[in-house]
Structures are given as structure tokens and as C-alpha cells.
């Protein structure tokens, strides 16, 4: 814990390469894949440090300078050497997060060309379940019945029950058709929903619609065949065209960049309201700043949208006195939709894939484009 070496370490003989892992899981969380990596790469030394959780500021993970100097490949969630000079031999940094915006001001991000890769793709199953779960909780009026259960009251709101719209024939708009959005689409389609997708760049050919990132087997939309329509563009006109398509469930899955900050504000909520008489339900699992939060509160109060499920807010943690807590028809969870007992194992699978690509001289999977920010 807190920076101690986990398990026996191999020698640091000449000619050997070092994989440095600094992660907030115990080593046994990814032991299965780590052992596969060690068998496949017998010339690789693995040093593992369990990083302190972000909330525990009293503990700081200390990685010896000689290991930072030797490291060829690094696996991390957020810990990094202080600068490029501290880790001159790094040829790959595998992040165990979906994005890298949390380290975008770090010198290794801004002042180096070390390839950075993410764990994008490992979050799809659990986050898609969260999105569909929250939509069902809302549409079936479950919060009211949960309160009745706590009070031991058996009250049948007959009219409310008749007001439930099941998901068959409804439309889900997936704003950001990456690995998470594709799994939302897969589950939504299985429930009888129509799916439309929005991406930053056009996806006009079958090849461009494919998912070239890491895919959890049996999930997602590898060929990009699920959406009945695709929309694209970073300008407001194209975004508004997408939002005008009578969307019942809007799943926000775009990364946070300068282009996407406050992507949804008053004009967008007004447009959603006009385009769907049933009112759109919004689920945000991306980053809180994608939405103009004050505009969202107003849209909820004016009933321009039917409600919102938020796993992310701006800021985080959300202050106790923030009016979002008491806005009507809002459900808030503390950035937990990506959690699963399989997380570390799947992220190590991405690392294993990239070690293979490095050996073969191929392009890394989930390679970060620093200019685009993801």
C-alpha cells in the first residue's frame, strides 16, 4: 500500500526492459493478465506500486528515481514522473483512464512526444448499464415508489402507471459514438429503440464507421451498423440538426475539450423541447462541463426536458449548497458509473494489446492525439 513494492521483482540485469505500474488497485486485481504479460515477454521486469487513492492526501506514492530512469513502459491512472528528464527512456505510457484531460497540463503531456494511450473501451458495459438503468428509473417513476417502500405504504398510482412509456420505438441520440456510446446503442437496440449517432468528424464510408479502439468481446458496435442515421460536425448548425431529431434519450459520451465545453446550453435545451413533445431525458456520463449547468437547472425547472441523470457535475464534488441537488427530476451519482470489478483486468488487457503492437511496430490502440485532446 501507498508505494510499497508488490510481490517479487525480477532482476535489473543489462538488456532487460522495465514495465513500471503505479495504479490504485492491489496487484492481484490484474494478476492474471500481468502473468500472461510476463510469460509472453520474459525480458520484461515488472515493478508494481499501489498508488494511494486520490482522496487520501496524507499518503504520497514514492517511486525510486532509478526505476523512473529505467522505465520503458508505464501503466498509470494519474501518477507521472515530474518531467520528461526524470524518465528519459519512456516509450509508452498506458493510462488506465478513458481520457487524459486530468494530466493535460503536465510537462510530459505538453513537452514530450511520448506516446500516450488510454483505456477507452473498458467502460462500455458498466456505463451503458448505468445509462439504461437511470432512464428506466425515471420512466417508470421508481423514485416515488422507493419512497413509498421506505414508509411501508402500498399506494398504486394508477394514472402514473398508465403514463409509463416503454422504450420500444423510442429514439436514443448518442452524442459521441465511441466505445461507451456504441454499447449504449447495442443495449438500446436490444430494447427496441432506434439509434442515431453524432460524431465530430463525418463517418460516410463503412470503413470510417468501424470501431478501431479496444472492444470488450461481445459488446459495442464494431462495424458501426446500429445507427439508423449519422450526424457530424463541430459547428452548432450540425449539432442542432442532430438535436432536432425527436430524441427521447440523449446519451452524452463526448470527451471534454475546448470544442465541447458547454456544448449544451439554453439554445440546445430549447431545441430539444421543441422537437419532442414527450420531452428528452438526458444522461451525462462524460464530464460535467459539457453542459452549461445553470442552463440545465433552468431547463429542468421550465420542464424543457423531462429530466437528467448525471454521473458527472461541474464542479466535482458538487457543493452541498449547489441548486442542482434540488432541481426537479434530476438523479445524481458521484462519478461512479465506470466502476466494475472487471475494470483493472480489462485495462491490463489494453496494456497487453499495446505491448504486442509495440513489439510488432504497429500503431497503438487508443493512441491520444494531443492536438485534439483525446
Q: Which residues are catalytic?
A: 287, 316, 335
Q: With CA atoms as reference, report the closest residue to 227 among 255, 186, 170, 180.
A: 186
Annotate 72-130 with DSSP letters as a single string. EEEEESS---SSGGGSTT--EEEESSS--GGGTTSHHHHS----EE--TTSSHHHHHHH
Determine the Cα–Cα distance for residues 132 and 181; give it in Å rounded to an integer: 12
Cα angle 23, 92, 348 (rounded to 5 degrees) comes to: 45
Assigned C-alpha cell, 249? 434519450
CB contact at 8 A, 240 and 205 = no
Assigned C-alpha cell, 336? 461512479
Determine the Cα–Cα distance for residues 364 and 353; give it in Å rounded to an integer: 8
Determine the Cα–Cα distance for residues 328 and 157; give it in Å rounded to an integer: 19
Determine the Cα–Cα distance for residues 268 and 249; give it in Å rounded to an integer: 14
Determine the Cα–Cα distance for residues 252 and 173; give it in Å rounded to an integer: 9
Kind and range of the H or E run holding 330: strand 330-332
CA separation (Å) from 328 to 76, 203, 322, 332? Answer: 39, 37, 13, 12
Amino acid at each position: 500500500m501507498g508505494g510499497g513494492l508488490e510481490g517479487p521483482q525480477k532482476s535489473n540485469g543489462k538488456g532487460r526492459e522495465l514495465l513500471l505500474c503505479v495504479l490504485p488497485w492491489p496487484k492481484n486485481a490484474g494478476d492474471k493478465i500481468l502473468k500472461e504479460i510476463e510469460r509472453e515477454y520474459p525480458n520484461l521486469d515488472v515493478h508494481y506500486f499501489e498508488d494511494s487513492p486520490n482522496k487520501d492526501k496524507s499518503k504520497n506514492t514514492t517511486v525510486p528515481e532509478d526505476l523512473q530512469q529505467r522505465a520503458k513502459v508505464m501503466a498509470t491512472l494519474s501518477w507521472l514522473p515530474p518531467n520528461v528528464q526524470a524518465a528519459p527512456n519512456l516509450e509508452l505510457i498506458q493510462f488506465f483512464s478513458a481520457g487524459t484531460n486530468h494530466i493535460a497540463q503536465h510537462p510530459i503531456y505538453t513537452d514530450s512526444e511520448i506516446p500516450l494511450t488510454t483505456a477507452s473501451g473498458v467502460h462500455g458495459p458498466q456505463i451503458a448499464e448505468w445509462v439504461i438503468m437511470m432512464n428506466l428509473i425515471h420512466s417508470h417513476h421508481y423514485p416515488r415508489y422507493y419512497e413509498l417502500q421506505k414508509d411501508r405504504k402500498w399506494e398504486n398510482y394508477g394514472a402514473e402507471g398508465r403514463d409509463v412509456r416503454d422504450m420500444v420505438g423510442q429514439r436514443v441520440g448518442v452524442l459521441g459514438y465511441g466505445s461507451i456510446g456504441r454499447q449504449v446503442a447495442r443495449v438500446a437496440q436490444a430494447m427496441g429503440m432506434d439509434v442515431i449517432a453524432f460524431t465530430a468528424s463525418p463517418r460516410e464510408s463503412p470503413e470510417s464507421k468501424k470501431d478501431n479502439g479496444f472492444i470488450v468481446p461481445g459488446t459495442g458496435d464494431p462495424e458501426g451498423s446500429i445507427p439508423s442515421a449519422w450526424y457530424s460536425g463541430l459547428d452548432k448548425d450540425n449539432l442542432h440538426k442532430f438535436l432536432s431529431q425527436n430524441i427521447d434519450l440523449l446519451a452524452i459520451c463526448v470527451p471534454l475539450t475546448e470544442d465541447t465545453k458547454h456544448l449544451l446550453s439554453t439554445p440546445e435545451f430549447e431545441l430539444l423541447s421543441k422537437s419532442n413533445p414527450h420531452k428528452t431525458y438526458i444522461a451525462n456520463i462524460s464530464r460535467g462541463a459539457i453542459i452549461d449547468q445553470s442552463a440545465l437547472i433552468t431547463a429542468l425547472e421550465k420542464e424543457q426536458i423531462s429530466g437528467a441523470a448525471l454521473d458527472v457535475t461541474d464542479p466535482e464534488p458538487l457543493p452541498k449548497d449547489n441548486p442542482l441537488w434540488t432541481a426537479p427530476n434530476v438523479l445524481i451519482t458521484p462519478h461512479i458509473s465506470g466502476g466494475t470489478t472487471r475494470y483493472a483486468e480489462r485495462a491490463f488487457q489494453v496494456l497487453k494489446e499495446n505491448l504486442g503492437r509495440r513489439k510488432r511496430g504497429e500503431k497503438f490502440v487508443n493512441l491520444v492525439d494531443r492536438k485534439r485532446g483525446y
